[in-house]
Amino acid sequence: MALIVQKYGGTSVANAERIRSLASRVGRFKKMGHQIVVVVSAMSGETNRLIGLAKEITLDPDPRELDVIVSTGEQVTIGMTCLALQELGLKAKSYTGSQVRILTNDSHGKARIIDIDGQNMQKDLDDGYVVVVAGFQGCDANGNITTLGRGGSDITGVALAAALKADECQIYTDVDGVYTTDPRVVPEARRLEKITFEEMLELASQGSKVLQTRSVEFAGKYKVKLRVLSSFTDEGEGTLITFEEDSKDENMEEPLISGIAFNRDEAKVTVLGVPDTPGIAYQILGPIADANIDVDMIIQNQGADDTTDFTFTVHKNEMDKALDIIRKQVQPNIHAREISGDDNIAKVSVVGVGMRSHVGIASQMFRTLSEEGINIQMISTSEIKVAVVIDEKYMELAVRVLHKAFELETA
């Protein structure tokens, strides 16, 4: 008997038929003797419908009240999921984020989980219930409803698995695992049986849509065994996300590169010609962080005449806000020569745990892109990835040629 947390995304609960199919799968796991916690998202399209309602009132809704509205999406799904489970003769009980008490901070719309009280759920599980929890939501210390931001249902799943010491957290989605890259861009893309947490983390942060970065971080931190599966088929084992040590033992000759990730949601903000003095990075990025804008890549390079050039990327939706802050709050102190933004960019990354010991990966990547005449605007590297920013229009071409250059279509 194992305790398994199963998380189902919006397409997996899109309508009554899909919810019934979910219930059948849960029923099969129950029959095997497992204890099951189900985490569900809002029915697909529902969150956007609710945001649309709010936008009918105001284009800049108060985050607290927007959370009150948007969190109803998952609340409807937990009720419907319980009804479907009960129709199969299973005992089922729903929990909103507030009812579990998934305690978060008070950053509405992008709250972070502080603590989860697993006691009531554990009691229900021991009493034979399937516990169904609303993903994506929690409440702060004052009982205000919060949401974790888009993709937050994955985090809920992983956090519940950690709190309940679950044996496995299964993420059901509309793809049957993690691929070497998006099969819509490269038809030859191949499903990976296993991937390390670190690689998954890079893939997620580089824009792979299968799992959200924060949920992978969370899983790594609490050593939650994570598996990505398709809710549209009962075939296949999906992709298991493992700790590096485990996977190394089994496959000494693992491939260097596990995948190509891409992301067109970012925009870059460039600040040219600022005095090259200590503290300048903080002067620029401090106000951005204070405004709760997430920054991804940050690059600083020497400029002309004792000045330095500074570039960072933010989500496209926040570029204007970031530029506004730089121009109004930062510029009076730093007197930059030029401040500009560009949202016609894309980020393409080559990810692989094997690459840290192989210096040739980066040069192979740059050569492949240059052969196609694709100009590189920014470069950022970590131990297990090389990411470049290029003109958005070349993104798909870049992904295809890199997938081929690194021979990812063959295992």
Pick the closest to residue 376 from 368, 366, 385, 384 (CA basis). Answer: 366
- What whole-number distance in Å separates Cα of residue 373 and Cα of residue 354? 27
CB of 76 to a copy of itself, least distance (A): 5
**Beta strands, E only, 109-197:** 113-116, 130-134, 137-139, 145-147, 168-173, 178-179, 191-192, 194-196
Sequence letter at residue 270: T
Backbone angles phi, psi at 101, to 5 degrees: 65, 80
Interface with a copy of itself, residue 61, by CB under 8 A: yes
Nearer to a copy of itself, 6 or 94 (CB): 94
Nearer to a copy of itself, 132 or 323 (CB): 132
CB of 21 to a copy of itself, least distance (A): 12
- What whole-number distance in Å separates Cα of residue 69 and Cα of residue 50? 7
Sequence letter at residue 329: Q
Q: b/e string for 263-278 if b means 16 or more Cβ within 10 A?
A: bbebbbbbbbbbeeee
Q: Out of 34, 44, 64, 329, point to the residue binding a copy of itself (CB under 8 A).
A: 64
Q: Out of 3, 14, 50, 256, point to the residue binding a copy of itself (CB under 8 A).
A: 50
Interface with a copy of itself, residue 63, by CB under 8 A: no
Nearer to a copy of itself, 121 or 387 (CB): 121
Interface with a copy of itself, residue 86, by CB under 8 A: yes
H or E element: which one contains 297? Answer: strand 295-302
CA distances from 40 to 131, 211, 335 (A): 11, 15, 49
Q: Out of 27, 29, 44, 65, point to the residue binding a copy of itself (CB under 8 A).
A: 65
Residue 132 has what DSSP assignment? E
Interface with a copy of itself, residue 141, by CB under 8 A: no
Choices 11-19, 156-164, 213-221, 399-407 (CB under 8 A): range interacting with a copy of itself: 11-19
Nearer to a copy of itself, 142 or 357 (CB): 142
- What whole-number distance in Å separates Cα of residue 94 and Cα of residue 84? 12
Applying CB under 8 A, the site for a copy of itself has a residue count of: 39
Interface with a copy of itself, residue 208, by CB under 8 A: no
Two tokens at 14?
A: 């899109």
- What whole-number distance in Å separates Cα of residue 32 and Cα of residue 1? 8
Q: Out of 4, 22, 36, 84, point to the residue binding a copy of itself (CB under 8 A).
A: 84
Q: Out of 3, 14, 20, 331, point to the residue binding a copy of itself (CB under 8 A).
A: 20
Query: HSE of 369 in the Cβ direction (CA atoms, 13 Å)?
Result: 25
Nearer to a copy of itself, 82 or 175 (CB): 82
Interface with a copy of itself, residue 66, by CB under 8 A: yes
Q: What are the residues binding a copy of itself (CB under 8 A)? A: 15-16, 19-20, 50, 53-54, 56-58, 61-62, 64-69, 71-72, 75-76, 78-80, 82-84, 86-87, 92-94, 96, 98-99, 143-145
